[in-house]
């Protein structure tokens, strides 16, 4: 790597201070190069630890069971495409992904709709109990859904929603509110006040203002909250595990566990199945990485 890529040179070398403080060329450069080499060694080793299990999983799906046993790391000696094709041609694979998509879409819609309205009232109106109610939503951040899972099960059963998409969506969305409401409320509150003054002069009421001004301007925060809700719903395992019992309604995290149970030690099939189920996540992640990383981390930071 070139010296220009170094942090010291990049920061100091281009500024006036850099000119004055540059170290004697010989030793500094050598030290810098050694540091750089060390940096890359560490980064590559860690990247390998991340990627080797994932790549071996994808490649394992192309092997025969015997091939996997003889050589779990390397390229397959003969590429068994049928492991993958059979899954792609099966209804269960697409049904699982479809179920996950439906549940996640419903969850995101419900969270965005309810949280944005509540956040709007907290951001713009002060009324009896408003401070208390905002803190009330914050308690949702403190404990996982698992703590109340049995009463949730009883409630959903008593509502007759067991084994339905909505039975999963409702508690999932409810647990999403603890983060979404405060996050959106802060965003709405930071929007320029003049907007409302102008809208009000033009005879705009709160509801119209919310619909025509707040929501269109709040797209970044809607995207953040939507991303967090979508990813957590897409990956959720515990709630659907307890609330669904018909396999045709299973979202994919449950589906792969069932598949794994069915095929036991036919690892080549399980690996192909796992690869295909995480593929949508990986594709979307690399396609929209900026938004996803920002959404997931900033969503968390405010929590």
The residues in 188-227 that bind another protein, with binding defined as CB under 8 A, are: 189-196, 200, 205-207, 210, 217, 220-221, 224
Tokens of 86: 């059979």
| Contact track, another protein, 149-168, x by CB under 8 A | xxxxxxx-------------
DSSP characters over 93-109: HHHHHHHHHHHHHHHHH
Whole-angstrom distance, CA of residue 66 vs CA of residue 10: 52
For the four alpha carbons of 268, 272, 274 and 275, in that order, the dihedral sign comes to positive
Check binding of 250 to another protein (CB under 8 A). no
Whole-angstrom distance, CA of residue 76 vs CA of residue 267: 14
Using CB under 8 A, which of 78, 127, 202, 246 touches another protein? Answer: 127
Q: In the complex, what is the shortest distance from the CB of residue 93 to another protein, in angstroms, rounded to a whole number?
A: 14
Whole-angstrom distance, CA of residue 186 vs CA of residue 190: 6
Q: Half-sphere exposure of residue 50, counting CA atoms within 13 Å on the CB side?
A: 6
| Contact track, another protein, 45-74, x by CB under 8 A | -xx-xxxxxx-xx--x----x--xx-xxx-
Q: Among residue numbers 252 through 281, which ones bind another protein (CB under 8 A)?
A: 252-253, 256-257, 260, 265, 267, 270-271, 274, 277-278, 281
Q: Among residue numbers 23 through 42, which ones bind another protein (CB under 8 A)?
A: 36, 39-40, 42
Closer CB to another protein, 165 or 252, in the complex: 252
Whole-angstrom distance, CA of residue 36 vs CA of residue 21: 20
Closer CB to another protein, 101 or 174, in the complex: 174
Tokens of 249: 């309604």
């Amino acid at each position: 790597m070139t010296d220009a890529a170094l942090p010291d040179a990049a920061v100091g070398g281009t500024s006036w201070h850099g000119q004055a403080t540059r170290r004697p060329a010989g030793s500094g450069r050598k030290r810098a190069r050694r540091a750089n080499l060390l940096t890359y060694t560490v980064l590559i080793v860690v990247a390998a630890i991340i990627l080797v299990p994932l790549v071996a999983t994808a490649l394992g799906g192309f092997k025969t069971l015997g091939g996997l046993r003889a050589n779990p790391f390397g390229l397959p000696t003969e590429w068994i495409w049928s492991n993958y094709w059979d899954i792609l041609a099966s209804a269960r694979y697409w049904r699982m992904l479809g179920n996950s998509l439906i549940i996640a879409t419903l969850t995101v819609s419900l969270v965005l709709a309810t949280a944005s309205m509540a956040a709007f009232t907290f951001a713009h109106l002060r009324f009896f109990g408003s401070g208390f109610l905002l803190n009330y939503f914050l308690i949702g951040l403190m404990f996982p859904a698992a703590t109340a899972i049995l009463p949730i099960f009883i409630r959903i059963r008593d509502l007759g929603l067991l084994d339905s998409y909505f039975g999963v969506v409702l508690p999932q969305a409810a647990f999403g509110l603890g983060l979404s409401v405060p996050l959106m409320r802060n965003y709405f509150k930071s929007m320029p006040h003049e907007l409302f003054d102008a809208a009000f002069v033009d005879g705009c009421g709160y509801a119209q203002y919310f619909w025509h001004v707040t929501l269109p301007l709040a797209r970044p925060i809607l995207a953040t909250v939507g991303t967090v809700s979508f990813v957590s719903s897409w990956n959720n395992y515990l709630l659907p595990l307890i609330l669904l019992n018909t396999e045709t309604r299973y979202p994919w995290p449950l589906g792969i566990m069932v598949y794994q149970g069915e095929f036991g030690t036919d690892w080549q099939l399980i690996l192909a199945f796992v690869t295909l189920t995480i593929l949508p996540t990986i594709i979307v992640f690399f396609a929209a990485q900026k938004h996803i990383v920002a959404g997931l981390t900033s969503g968390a930071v405010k929590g």
